């Protein structure tokens, strides 16, 4: 019994001893963001504190009528975390649309190039029409492996980019073919 207690209760916290990952955060910066920004940024900030570990590579996109990278860097200290969070806080909602396809396509390309690093992609949408356009557009296949969490006025979608390729590769390695 003491062994079980030692193993589970005194072992390092979840995620503390893992290899660095690539984190893609794709955030809707259309005018729909304005009414939910405080709630959304607070949730993202807390979520990043749970997910990020030193050595993780983070890319944050602001997606409105144009898509642009607003932060990219490796998290090595608290000031790095704070800089990533500040870039999110500085997003302002403008324009009527959010075109997620470009950022999602670029994140997919980066995920396929980093074969060894695990890739975590989180898409934040305040605009239902933007998600509808993404799901009915040419990049819809990138959303095949995803999980959505609904909040009041916005959604967080964890996207499993290139998951099919990784599953096939792992199955082939497991079965020795």
Is residue 58 in a domain?
A: yes
Q: Could you list the residue range(s) of the whole structural domain that residue 81 is in? A: 18-175
Adjacency order of strands within the sheet including 154-159: 67-74, 57-63, 21-28, 118-125, 154-159, 146-151
Is residue 2 in a domain?
A: no
Give dist(CA 45, CA 86) in Å, integer.
Answer: 9
Provide the pLDDT confidence category of residue 116 given band limits of 50, 70 and 90. Answer: low
Is residue 7 in a domain?
A: no
Query: How many domains are there within the chain?
Result: 1
Is residue 4 in a domain?
A: no
Is residue 1 in a domain?
A: no
Helix, coil or strand: residue 119: strand
Is residue 13 in a domain?
A: no
Provide the pLDDT confidence category of residue 56 given band limits of 50, 70 and 90. Answer: very high
Count helices and strands in the chain by DSSP H and E runs: 6, 6
CATH number of the domain where residue 48 is located: 3.40.50
Q: In this predicted model, what pLDDT tens digit does every residue of 61-94 receive, in sequence order? A: 999 888 899 999 999 999 999 999 999 999 988 8
Is residue 67 in a domain?
A: yes
């Amino acid at each position: 019994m003491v062994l079980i207690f030692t193993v589970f209760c005194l072992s390092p916290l979840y995620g503390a001893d893992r290899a660095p990952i690539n984190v893609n955060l794709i955030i809707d910066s259309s005018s729909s963001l304005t009414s939910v920004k405080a709630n959304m940024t607070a949730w993202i900030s807390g979520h990043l504190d749970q997910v990020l570990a030193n050595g993780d590579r983070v890319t944050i996109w602001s997606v409105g009528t144009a898509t642009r990278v607003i932060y990219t860097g490796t998290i090595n200290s608290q000031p790095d975390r704070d800089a990533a969070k500040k870039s999110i806080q500085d997003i302002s909602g403008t324009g009527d649309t959010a075109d997620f396809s470009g950022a999602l396509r670029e994140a997919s390309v980066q995920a396929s190039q980093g074969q060894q690093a695990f890739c975590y992609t989180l898409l934040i949408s305040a605009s239902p029409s933007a998600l509808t356009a993404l799901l009915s557009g040419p990049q819809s296949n990138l959303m095949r492996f995803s999980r959505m969490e609904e909040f009041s006025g916005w959604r967080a979608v964890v996207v499993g980019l290139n998951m099919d390729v990784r599953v096939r590769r792992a199955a082939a390695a497991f079965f020795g073919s």
